[in-house]
Structure 1
Amino acid sequence: MLTTLAYGLAIALNLFCLFLGGRFLFAPYAAAAGYGVPAKEDRAYLTIKGVRDGTYGLVGLALLAFAGAQAEAWFMLVVALVPLGDTLIVLRNGGTKATAFGIHFATALIVLLSAALLFAV
């Protein structure tokens, strides 16, 4: 049961990264608004975020498939820095506290939970 939960959450988080990456690539301004800091220009930076998020999703899936739970756990532990940084970015750039903490900080906690579950497997 724990193994199913650990792998299921890790797969879901990695697929969500792929989804976010695609959203920033194909609907960058809507994705930026959902992120918490709307963009009027800077399409290149939004594309960079899309590539970054999509790459994290692919690396996470590859680690899970080819290296196992321990490698994925370490990856999740390190990658939790991204939503923590996103929390600060939203707060420093006029985004709401609800978005910063309700989306980004909460995501960081879920990623850390995923790491803990994977370490326990």
Structure 2
Amino acid sequence: MLTPAAYGLAIALNLFVVFIGARFLLQPEAAAAGYGVPAKPGAYLTIKGLRDLSYGILGLALIAFVGPHAAAWFMLIVALNPLGDTLIVLRNGGTKAVAFGIHFATAVVVLISAALLFAV
């Protein structure tokens, strides 16, 4: 019973990161506004898009080809990204609602996903 929840949450999170990465590559201004700190198109947004896209694909590959413990370690480490994003939004004029309601909450869900995968 725990296994489907662990895999389901991990897959959903990684697909969401793929979506975010693709959005930063295809609609950079809208993606930046949704991030919480509006930015003009340029290298930063492209880099962020590529980073997120590749992390999402890597997470899916670990789940598919390696197993839950490797995916759990990946999720544990990747949780640093939304924690860092929380600080970036707060330090650059973004709202606390976005910083904590989106980025910090995402970090918590990613950590829950890691815990579930470790338990499998």
Aligning the two structures, in what range does the TM-score lie when normalised by the shorter sequence?
Answer: over 0.9
CA distance in structure 2 between the partners assigned to 1:102 and 1:110 by the alignment: 12
**2:102 aligns to what?**
103
**1:27 aligns to what?**
27
**1:51 aligns to what?**
50
> Aligned letter for 1:95?
G
What is the identity percentage for the equivalent residue pairs of Structure 1 and Structure 2?
Answer: 77
CA distance in structure 2 between the partners assigned to 1:32 and 1:4 by the alignment: 33
CA distance in structure 1 between the partners assigned to 2:47 and 2:41 by the alignment: 10
CA RMSD between the two structures: 0.6
Q: TM-score, normalised by structure 1?
A: 0.98
> Aligned letter for 1:30?
A
Following TM superposition, by how much is the alpha carbon of 1:43 offset from its aligned partner in structure 2, in angstroms?
Answer: 1.6
| Structure 1, gaps ≥5 residues long | none
CA distance in structure 2 between the partners assigned to 1:21 and 1:43 by the alignment: 14
| Structure 2, gaps ≥5 residues long | none
Runs of 4+ in 1 over 2 A off after TM superposition: none
Count residues in correspondence: 120
